Amino acid sequence: RRMLISGDVFLGETMAASLTKLCLRAAESSTIAPTKVKSMTASAVLAMCGIVKMAEVTVAAQRTSLADCQERVTLCVRALLDPAAQELLKKILLTDGRERFAEFLKITKEKELKEAKKDSEEKNQTISTQADDLIHFRQLKSMAVSGGDLDLDDGADLARATGYDSAGALSSELSHVYQLSGFADPVYAEALVTVHDYDIVLEILVMNRTPNTLANLTVELATMGDMKIVERPQSYNLGPLDQMTIRASIKVSSTETGHIFGTIVYDDAASHEKCYVNLNDIHMDIMDYIRPATCTDEAFRSMWAEFEWENKVAISTSITSLLEFLNHIVSSTNMSCLTPFDSKAEKGSFLAANLYARSVFGEDALVNVSVEKKDDNDGKLAGYIRIRSKTQGIALSLGDRITSVQRGLLEQPKQ
């Protein structure tokens, strides 16, 4: 009673459903008199009306759940008073609900067993390096050391130091190569972008396509967003048809979509003119900073109520399967699904799921997917994806990512 008076709407809905089930089961029992059943039904309806009235007048009530409470309690009242509605809802309330809850518990138990097995496998992993192993610093060794004792594989050193196993993979490098200038420009430039948490390293390949020497060639870079250039490129002299690689380092301070743009400036030795080549922008993808993570349902609800920035994206896709759409969103946003569901079969015409991820900077990203398959819309999916975070940047960037993924799906031809 104290919780109901304080405005706990969800508890009132649960109590209304429980009273409805009790009255329906009492009507089926042969040991309870019909007059007693009618008395129980009248008391239950009176209690439900009081719950709705209390939710309406209580200031501390959960205003966002008030409409849901009214609709749910109205359905329970109709199930008790209207014989036609009772005939339709009786099986759903007494049998189907319990079966769905049993399936939910089964899926949850399987998920817990799978996570426990995964944790045990991680604990039993073979240790490759002991904590007391010696660390060899190649720079501190004397020149008299034989060449066989030196580890000259810089790529392996980088992979061991950063934990980035695919640092030397050609496929991963090619996906992060950006063309900065055109083939017809006097200076051709392309950049290999390597992202590792807080650091972005640009390896800019500059090619002189003219027969003249380019003096004082400089790549002037600028950033937009929470990025700061730490190491600016120096000036170089580039011979005719020569090429070189220029490095630049950038620090990132938050999970936000950023842009890197710049200009190549040089002096033409033949014409003695200062020339400029504008470079294409480098768009930094937020997916480089997002990592899948897990949290409890209580923590998710607490953060959902606490976070103030929300971005609401309307669903517009050519996918007609609810589970296929959910799996596509999970894989495209690099998030983990907290809501357990049966991946073998698709039941029902609507789906609601919570997704969670954490950035490398410790920022939390919450996503709620509410999608429905409408028969009056040629079976297309409709609904909204709501994104909440503590900062505005991650909410807007994730929204842009989801919108671009959906537009890409619409452009794909049907196979």
pLDDT digits (tens, 9 = 90+) for 195-248: 776 788 888 999 999 888 889 999 998 888 778 888 888 888 988 889 999 988
Q: Strand locations in 279-339, DSSP E? A: 282-284, 290-292, 309-314, 336-337
pLDDT at 411: 43
Distance CA 415, CA 407 (A): 17
Q: Show the tokens assigned to 148.
A: 């066989």
pLDDT at 63: 59
pLDDT at 62: 57
Q: CA–CA distance from 372 to each of 263, 329, 347, 381, 385 (Å)? A: 48, 15, 12, 6, 12
pLDDT at 64: 59
Distance CA 304, CA 365 (A): 10
pLDDT at 43: 92
pLDDT at 126: 67
pLDDT at 173: 65
Q: Show the tokens assigned to 240.
A: 């005719």
Please enumerate, as own/partner, the contacts of 156-159 that have beta carbons within 8 Å and a separation of 24 or more: none
pLDDT at 367: 93
CB 380 within 8 A of CB 320: yes
From the first residue on, what is the mean pLDDT of each consecutive set of 10 residues in the chain (415 residues)? 78 88 88 89 90 75 68 89 87 86 83 80 71 70 48 49 48 76 91 81 90 90 83 87 89 75 88 88 80 86 86 86 87 86 71 89 88 77 89 85 70 42
- Token pair 């405005």 in the structure block, residue: 7
Q: Show the tokens assigned to 336.
A: 């983990």
Question: Can you give the length of the chain in residues?
Answer: 415
